[in-house]
Amino acid sequence: VAIPLKELFKDFFPIGAAVTPQQADPGTNHGVALQKHFSSITAENVMKPDALQRNKGFYTWEGADRIVQFAKSNNMKVRGHTLTWHSQTPDWMFYDQDGALLSKEIAMEQLKEHITTVVTRYKDDVYAWDVVNEALFDWDPNGVIVYREDSPWYKIFGESYIDSAFVFAHRADPNAKLFYNDYNSIFSWKRNKIYDLVKRLKDNNIPIHGVGLQGHWMVETSEQDIRTTLDLFRGLGVEIQITELDLPVYLSNTEPGSTVYTDTFSFRQKQAYSMIFNVLLDYSDIITGVTFWGIGDDHTWLDQPGRKAFPFLLDEELKPKPVYFEVQKLV
Ligand code: XIL
């Protein structure tokens, strides 16, 4: 019999899920699964800049408020995602009416206003924020290109907006845990850049408390890569959270439409998830949260026409899959 995930991991870390506002409703199957299994919740989209402030000065709180209310009435933590990102951010934060990049002064004022307003509204409700998401360039093994230079934030400011964003968030809620969040963060080319960035911020007394490893992992994910990354970040004295965990059944080099789903694939998913949770339990002294990027296999950003991902521990009806029981065995 399945033990609810939040019970299973209660001595180790909160277990979270990313949700839509519609799912955060006790009258739906999703709401019931959330109440049963999860002790933390994150907005999949509705706390992003383009959702909260699509037009300058006009905030839309409805969806985000619904998620926060659901969490409060069910005794769940809320992880805020995300304050500063190049994607899902309205154009007015970057460009003027002629499409030219804004001046540093104007862009900084707007960023400050956005972060202050959002963090203040959810002060005491959101315990941790992804303050900056995906600022680093994803490839370049030689580390020459450090930042994502096509980000409008980078084009306007260089790297300094990162420091500013953390300062604004900390001023608005000194109790919130502030995270830098990124993907591919267990690969050497990326983890070293994250390390350098966080080290620089800490050396400059910028308030940063943790690193979010998104955890969009694959059946081929290497245990050594995860362990090496956790060991490296342990040395920084920051918390680690797995913020967007999902792991498709297919192999990473297959194209949409080409996948035949067989036991071989779900077997590899079972092996990968057991390996991952085994490692996370080993590092539970520095891991302060694990969030899946969805609830069950019925709803995931990974699904494409011709290829479903089945990336979670709960199936399309939100019932525990065989992989769930593999993970349960570890505890
Ligand atoms: C994704 C959402 O899941 C999708 O619904 C949306 O269309 C695009 O964004 N990294 C992140 C998340 O930090 O915000 C992204 O979420 C997935 C990749």
Domain regions of the chain by residue span = 5-328
Angstrom distance (rounded) from CA 119 to CA 293 = 22
Q: Give the span between the Cα atoms of 160 and 234, in whole angstroms.
A: 25
* Dihedral of the alpha carbons of 250, 254, 258, 262, in degrees to the nearest 10: -30
Mean per-residue pLDDT pooled into runs of 10, the chain (331 residues): 98 98 98 98 99 98 98 98 98 98 98 99 98 95 89 98 99 98 96 97 98 97 98 97 97 72 83 98 98 98 91 97 97 96
3-state DSSP assignment of residue 161: helix
List the one residue out of 212, 310, 307 whose CA is nearest residue 267: 310
Residues 6+ apart with CB under 8 A from 168: 111, 112, 115, 116, 119
- Which residues does 82 contact at the CB level (< 8 Å), separation at least 6? 47, 48, 129, 130, 131, 132, 133, 181
Would you say the C-alpha torsion 260, 263, 268, 269 has a positive or negative sign? positive
From start to end of 177-234, where are the E strands? 177-182, 210-213
Q: How confident is the model at residue 258, as a pLDDT?
A: 64
Rounded to the nearest whole angstrom, what is the distance from the C-alpha of residue 42 to the centroid of ligand 1? 12
Amino acid letter, 265: F
pLDDT for the residue numbered 286: 98
For a ligand 1 pocket test, name from 88, 302, 312 the mutation site with the most ligand atoms within 8 angstroms of its C-beta.
88
Pocket (CB within 6 angstroms of ligand 1): 44-45, 133, 214, 244, 301
How many Å lie between the centroid of ligand 1 and the Cα of residue 93? 19
Please tell me which residue in 44, 134, 239, 244 is annotated as part of the active site. Answer: 244
**CA 203 to ligand 1 centroid distance, Å:** 31
How many CA atoms lie less than 13 Å away from 33 in the CB half-sphere?
21
CA of 81 to the centre of ligand 1 (A): 10
Among 170, 90, 165, 133, smallest CA distance to 244 is for 133
CA of 183, closest atom in ligand 1: 10
Is residue 5 within 8 Å of residue 38, measured between CB atoms?
A: yes
Residue in this structure with the two tokens 């420091």, named with its chain if needed? 163
pLDDT of residue 129: 99
CATH 3.60.15.10 assigned to domain 5-328? The reply is no
Q: How confident is the model at residue 244, as a pLDDT?
A: 99
DSSP 8-state symbol, 78: E
Helix (H) or strand (E) segment spanning residue 263: helix 263-282
What pLDDT does 306 receive? 82
β-strands 40-43, 15-19 pairing: parallel
Dihedral-angle region of residue 133 (phi above 0 means left; psi in -120 to 50 means alpha; beta otherwise): beta
Question: Which residues make beta-bridge pairs with 289?
Answer: 241
* Best probe residue, ligand 1, of 50, 81, 134, 293 (max atoms within 8 Å of C-beta): 293
pLDDT at 89: 98
Is-catalytic flag, 244? yes
